[in-house]
Every structure is written in structure tokens, then in C-alpha cells.
């Protein structure tokens, strides 16, 4: 399932979607309406590759359907739309619960403390090749493309981050020359955010982004796609770094919609 020959990959990239898949995306992912026809075609191919390589498992009594698979895959592939299109080589399994679920563990807080115990979760990204998602929250996050909250974009940003070997807010970058600027810009933005949170000021990214650099990158990704004009207005340098990383300009996409 997880290995594809070059020939098979090219076949999948060129394979058209069933009509029902287009309906799933139209109904569940309004952001897709902002994409150009060329981007739509590329997204379709990436989704085909993604679905051929990843296994979906229902949890908590949920039965996996094509709607679930396509809705999650299309959002995940949005992040890869103008990157190398590798479609998360380290990811093998997507576990999907019907609703928010309870997970036990140690949970870092924005103030630096660690809370231990059970907490409700909307999603998780594991370093050993798995992602966990709540289907209700997948739909809720995708339905409002202007609130900066999207659990699929968030958890799959963590997967991109993990491709460097550790989840620390520093994913592999397209060019070596980008690393110095990335570290400077995101480091300064994260430090500024933590100061604002400690002062109890309202921020665009919110308190959770101040938990650690990994969460900052994931939350920044959500806002880059869903609130790009606001993010660009608040921190142009941060926006430009994400624009280079993802190869996309959502603020211009929104402006021309």
C-alpha cells in the first residue's frame, strides 16, 4: 500500500475523480472554491496518490467512507499543492473518531507548565506514522475558512515539521538559504507572541500557539490559509516565510476570489 512505482504514481496523478468526490469537496471544503482550475487538477492527482498510500481506520464505532477519506485527504494535500508533492512519506495511518476523544498523557501549556492526565482532543500527530482526527471537528474546521481553526491543516503541518527528524517548528525547507531567515523570523514572532500572551493581550494566533515552536508553526499554518490577509497585515515577514515554504499566496488568492 505504501510504496508506489513512478509509473503508478503518474497514473494516479492523471486519474480523474469520480463525480461524487467533487461533491464531497464542494460541500465540505469551501476553501477549494478559491483554487484555480490548474490547482484543482493538481489537487485531484495528489489526493489519488495520498489515498493509494495511506490507510484509514475508524475508531469509536466510526465506519470509514469515501467522504471521510476524500475530505481529509484534500485538505492534507492542500499543504503539498506547490511543494514537492511527496504526500507525507512518513505517514501511514489516519485514525478517525466520530467526535472529540479523550487522550491521556502529559500536555504542555503556554505558560510552560505540564498538565498530566486525560484531556479531550480534536486531533493528534504522532511521530510513528499516524495521525488521529475527530470527524466532527474535521468538518467544523473546514466549514469556516476565515476563523483560523482547521484541525487537518494543523495536524498535517506537524507531519511536515516531523520530516526534519524532530517536531520543533523547523521543517525541511526547499532551499538551504532559507534556514537563517526562517529561524530569525519565526523565532522573533514566537518570542513576541509569548510576551503578548504573558501580558494577557489578545493575539491573532491565540494562546495555544505560544505552547512551543511546533504548535506555533502549526497554528501559523492554519492562519496562513484561513486568515492570510490578517496574518500578512500583522506580520509580513512571517507571512512571507510561510509563502516561500508552501509556495502559495493565500492573501492574493482571497483578493482575486
Number of domains in the chain: 1
Q: What is the mean pLDDT of the chain?
A: 91
Cα–Cα distance measured from residue 13 to residue 49, given in angstroms and rounded to the nearest whole number: 7
Whether residue 192 is contained in a domain is answered as yes
Which structural domain range is residue 214 located in?
178-255
Whether residue 193 is contained in a domain is answered as yes
Per-residue pLDDT, 1? 44
Cα–Cα distance measured from residue 18 to residue 22, given in angstroms and rounded to the nearest whole number: 7
Contact 196, 223 (CB under 8 A): no
Whether residue 61 is contained in a domain is answered as no
pLDDT confidence band for 106 (50 / 70 / 90): low
Whether residue 79 is contained in a domain is answered as no
User: Hey, how many other C-beta atoms are within 10 angstroms of the C-beta on 180?
Assistant: 9
Per-residue pLDDT, 117? 63
User: Hey, how many other C-beta atoms are within 10 angstroms of the C-beta on 23?
Assistant: 13
Q: Measuring CA to CA, how many Å separate 66 from each of 12, 22, 134, 139, 189?
A: 17, 11, 16, 14, 39
Q: What is the pTM of this model?
A: 0.90
pLDDT confidence band for 108 (50 / 70 / 90): low
Whether residue 11 is contained in a domain is answered as no
Whether residue 229 is contained in a domain is answered as yes
Whether residue 170 is contained in a domain is answered as no
Q: pLDDT, tens digit, for every residue of 21-75?
A: 999 999 999 999 999 999 999 999 999 999 999 999 999 999 999 999 999 999 9
Whether residue 239 is contained in a domain is answered as yes
Stretch among 19-33, 93-107, 163-177, 207-221 having the lowest mean pLDDT:
93-107
Amino acid at each position: 500500500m505504501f510504496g508506489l512505482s513512478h509509473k503508478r504514481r503518474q497514473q494516479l496523478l492523471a486519474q480523474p475523480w469520480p463525480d461524487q468526490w467533487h461533491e464531497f469537496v464542494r460541500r465540505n471544503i469551501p476553501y477549494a472554491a478559491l483554487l484555480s482550475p490548474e490547482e484543482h487538477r493538481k489537487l485531484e492527482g495528489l489526493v489519488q496518490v495520498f489515498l493509494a498510500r495511506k490507510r484509514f481506520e475508524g475508531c469509536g464505532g466510526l465506519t470509514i467512507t469515501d467522504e471521510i477519506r476524500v475530505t481529509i485527504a484534500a485538505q492534507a494535500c492542500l499543504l503539498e499543492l506547490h511543494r514537492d508533492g511527496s504526500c507525507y512519506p512518513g505517514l501511514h495511518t489516519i485514525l478517525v473518531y466520530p467526535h472529540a476523544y479523550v487522550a491521556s498523557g502529559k500536555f504542555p501549556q503556554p505558560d510552560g507548565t505540564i498538565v498530566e492526565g486525560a484531556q479531550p482532543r480534536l486531533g493528534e500527530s504522532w511521530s510513528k506514522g499516524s495521525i488521529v482526527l475527530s470527524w466532527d471537528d474535521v468538518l467544523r474546521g473546514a466549514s469556516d475558512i476565515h476563523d483560523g481553526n482547521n484541525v487537518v491543516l494543523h495536524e498535517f503541518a506537524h507531519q511536515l515539521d516531523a520530516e526534519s527528524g524532530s517536531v520543533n517548528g523547523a521543517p525541511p525547507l526547499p532551499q538551504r538559504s532559507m534556514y537563517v531567515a526562517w529561524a530569525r523570523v519565526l523565532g522573533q514572532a514566537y518570542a513576541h507572541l509569548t510576551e503578548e500572551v504573558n501580558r494577557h493581550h489578545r493575539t491573532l494566533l491565540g494562546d495555544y500557539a505560544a505552547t512551543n515552536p511546533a504548535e506555533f508553526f502549526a497554528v501559523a499554518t492554519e492562519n496562513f490559509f484561513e486568515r492570510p490577509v490578517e496574518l500578512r497585515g500583522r506580520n509580513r515577514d512571517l507571512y512571507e516565510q510561510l509563502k516561500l515554504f508552501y509556495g502559495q499566496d493565500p492573501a492574493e488568492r482571497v483578493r482575486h476570489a
